[in-house]
Amino acid sequence: MGIFRFKKDKAHLACRRQRHRCYHEGVLVVLRKLGRGSRAVSGRLVRAPRKGSVIVIEFSDGLHEYVTTPVKRVLRVVGLDVFFIETANSRYRLEIRGREQSLEGASSG
């Protein structure tokens, strides 16, 4: 498995121009592909699921990323941090697990 990178697409440029929060820091998620024999991908959400944009999840090693095809539709379960996402050729369930703890105020000893 190699490092996956993506080119700056139209959605990325739109986020920068409109100053939307497309990129998140510290949101831990689990992404499961719906269907048979799929495995869960867990890590840090780098890029939020928005229509026309790809979803990027960074693995815990910090060297590898999981990148989906462009998002067609995002549905959220009311009252839960669970999203169902349809991309160009797949369907996923995205669960928000929490946020990373910041080290501000931590003592070293």
Output the DSSP codes for 53-64. Answer: S--EEE-TTSS-
| Residue 60 in domain | yes
For the chain, the domain total comes to 1
CA–CA separation, 103 vs 59, rounded Å? 20
Residue 24 is predicted with a pLDDT of: 52
pLDDT in tens, 78-98: 888 899 999 999 999 999 988
Burial class (CB in 10 A: 0-12, 13-18, 19+), 53: buried
Range of the domain at 42: 25-99
Q: Is residue 5 domain-resident?
A: no
- Asked if the structure places residue 15 within a domain, the reply is no
In a domain, 12, yes or no: no
pTM of the model: 0.67
Decide if 76 is inside a domain.
yes
Which parts of the chain have pLDDT scores under 70? 1-25, 99-109
The total number of residues shown for the chain amounts to 109
| Residue-level pLDDT at 61 | 85
